[in-house]
Amino acid sequence: IAGITQAPTSQILAAGRRMTLRCTQDMRHNAMYWYRQDLGLGLRLIHYSNTAGTTGKGEVPDGYSVSRANTDDFPLTLASAVPSQTSVYFCASSAAFQGANYGYTFGSGTRLTVV
């Protein structure tokens, strides 16, 4: 089934530890995104990639890094986790081009708790 796969589904992480959230899509979408969703704050963009080899910062990038070595994979790394990074993380992709308007396809999310 075409779509986005995120792993892990959930994780409890000790503060200060490093962690990578994985995201893989099989739709050959060129653009990919990482959002975090918090109660009362909605979905906020962390980082994005318009195409393989390029990345950009979103609204809340501090403490996170991404890479886009190929079209399918877009991992999100927390270098040293802090409790404020407790959230649900969603990866999304779109077949986006300049001037085109396409919606996103979302993964099922990773629920991360930093203690």
Provide the edge-to-edge strand list for the sheet that holds 64-66. 4-7, 19-25, 76-78, 64-66
Distances (CA, A) of 34 to 1, 39, 45, 113: 21, 17, 6, 17
Q: Is 18 left (phi over 0), alpha (psi -120 to 50) or beta?
A: beta
3-class secondary structure, 83: helix
> Does the protein bind other proteins through residue 1 (CB under 8 A)?
no
> Does the protein bind other proteins through residue 45 (CB under 8 A)?
yes
Q: Which stretch binds other proteins (CB under 8 A): 19-27, 35-43, 69-77, 79-87?
A: 35-43
> Does the protein bind other proteins through residue 74 (CB under 8 A)?
no
> Does the protein bind other proteins through residue 48 (CB under 8 A)?
yes
> Does the protein bind other proteins through residue 21 (CB under 8 A)?
no
Contacts with other proteins, residue ranges (CB under 8 A):
4, 31, 33, 35, 40-45, 48, 50, 56, 58, 90, 92, 94, 96, 99, 101-109
